[in-house]
Structure 1
């Protein structure tokens, strides 16, 4: 793969990580405080929701790290290796975890009667995208595993 393409993808990973970090550090606490002040009957949900958002950042950053590793494997011409399969498995699991965290948050906030339709749509979109990424990573993992098996069989044949 072209070095420019992998460099672009690495820059995209860094930008995504930076944006989420800035949101977690600066925007989320303020939004949580404002929401608690405007809706005192739901102020008790401030910390559980905020902690859930921070918990969702953990699998997100793990998936970004594994994506970075995949790009390094591609640059090093070792994309067809068991390490890539492990990275794709981790990305799949992180996508599932992220989707489940958001789905649980939607259910929890909805059960408390505090779920705004806009928040529901945004959370559902994030959960859905996370599950789609998980499925895509799982398909890539299986394709890569099949390619590795064929490569090993060809090496034994020759």
Structure 2
């Protein structure tokens, strides 16, 4: 694979990471500091804490994605290291999904207070989006594991 295709993917991963980092550092605290509606802000705290906690496995997953791209550049994509990195991505996505699943009641309470049912949908999108990423990583992990097994079997045949 050419370095150009992985370079674009790396840029995308770094851009996503930068956007989430800016949101965590600037966006979420500004929501927590809103003094205009203290009751709304008080109900928002559990969701904001969940988002900050979920940022940790998110960045770990992004780092693992960068490692997979590095393995592709080194032409060692079909190795146990890639399988292990995809396994970490899968676990990070499952952790994020679990965190948002358990915060869904807080999304519901916030939606009831603000009379905005779309807030619950945001919580569901965050939960199921992470499940989709975990499923995709699990499928890739399984395929890559089988490819590594076939490759090692072919290396022994020679």
TM-score w.r.t. the length of structure 1 is 0.90
Q: CA RMSD in A?
A: 1.5
- Structure 1's 32 and 118: CA in aligned 2 closer, same or farther, altered over 3 A? farther
SS in 2 for 1:114: helix
Partner Cα distance (2:26, 2:120) in 1: 22
2:32 aligns with 32
Cα distance in 2 for residues equivalent to 1:67 and 1:143: 16
- Per-residue CA deviations over 1:80-102 (Å, capped at 9, x if unaligned) read 00000000000000111111111
User: Counterparts of 1:3 and 1:73 in 2: how far apart (Å)?
Assistant: 11
Q: Match for residue 114 of structure 1? A: 110
Unaligned runs of 5+ in 2: none
Aligned to 1:72: 70
Q: 2:82 aligns to what?
A: 84
Q: Which whole-Å deviations, capped at 9, do the CAs of 1:27-52 have from their partners, x for residues lacking one?
A: 11112333x642x3344334332221
For the Cα contact (< 8 Å) 2:47–2:106, is it kept in 1?
no
Once residues 37 and 86 of structure 1 are traced to their aligned partners in structure 2, the CA distance between those partners, rounded to angstroms, is: 47
The within-5 A match list for 1:1-158 is: 1-34=1-34, 37-38=36-37, 40-110=38-108, 113-115=109-111, 116-158=116-158
